[in-house]
Amino acid sequence: MKLCFPTTDNQGMDSLIYEHFGSAPMFLLVDSQTGEINEQSNHDKGHTHGNCQPLKALAGLTVDAIVVGGIGKGALSGLNQAGLKVFQAYPGTIADNLAQMATEQLKELTPNDVCGGHAGPHGHDHASGSGRGPGCGC
């Protein structure tokens, strides 16, 4: 399975999941079978809130599922309509999340799992699920 992880930089399996899918500086694509990692710059990170185009951000990439710290309702809907599953990240690294995925411990996100706005600093940790909700960005 090819999984996409939004990140700040490429630290391989030690990379941390970025809190907002759409504004992540890059994506790391990991083949869960082989451990192969490919880096992709996010071409859509400069969007305004509510205008995230997730398929534009992932254009040309082969992806089966996405593991995110946070995601907005519109982006989640767009990815789901394209046949992609989106899972809530477990706190920690890509390696930690691959282990959780292997044992089916990551929750698939639904529109009820996202939060709706960006009024200012969030004050909550997306990956841990504390605060207003697990997802709050596109």
- Tens of pLDDT along 111-127? 888 865 543 333 334 44
In this prediction, residue 115 carries a pLDDT of 60
CA distance 75 to 95: 25
- In the predicted structure, residue 65 carries a pLDDT above the cut 80: yes
Q: Is residue 96 situated within a structural domain?
A: yes
Q: What amino acid occupies position 28?
A: L
pTM above 0.75, yes or no: yes
Residue 128 lies in a domain: no
pLDDT score of 81 more than 70: yes
CA 126 to chain centre: 10
In a domain, 133, yes or no: no
Is residue 115 classed as helix, strand or coil in its secondary structure? coil
In this prediction, residues 24-46 reach a mean pLDDT of: 87
* Per-residue CA distances from 135 to 11, 36, 40, 84, 138 (Å): 23, 27, 22, 17, 8
Does residue 55 lie in a domain region? Answer: yes
The count of domains in the chain is 1
Q: Does 127 reside within a domain? A: no
* Whether residue 64 has pLDDT greater than 90: yes
Residue 48: the pLDDT is: 58
For residues 4-13, give the mean pLDDT: 95
Domain limits for position 25: 2-113
Is the CA virtual torsion 38, 43, 48, 52 positive or negative?
negative
- The dihedral sign for the CA sequence 12, 16, 21, 23: negative
User: Is the pLDDT at 68 greater than 70, yes or no?
Assistant: yes
Q: Which position has the higher pLDDT, 67 or 127?
A: 67
Token pair belonging to 23: 């504004």
Contact of 102 with 30, CB cutoff 8 Å: no
Cβ-proximal residues to 134 (8 Å cutoff; 6+ apart), any chain: 70, 88, 109, 113, 114, 126
Domain assignment present for 12: yes
| 91 in a structural domain | yes
Distance (Å, rounded) from C-alpha 69 to C-alpha 94?
11
pLDDT over 70 percentage in the chain: 75
Across the range 78-84, mean pLDDT stands at: 90
- Say which CATH number the domain at 19 has: 3.30.420.130
**Is position 74 within any domain?**
yes
Helix (H) or strand (E) holding 24: none
Q: For residue 117, what are its two tokens?
A: 């706005």
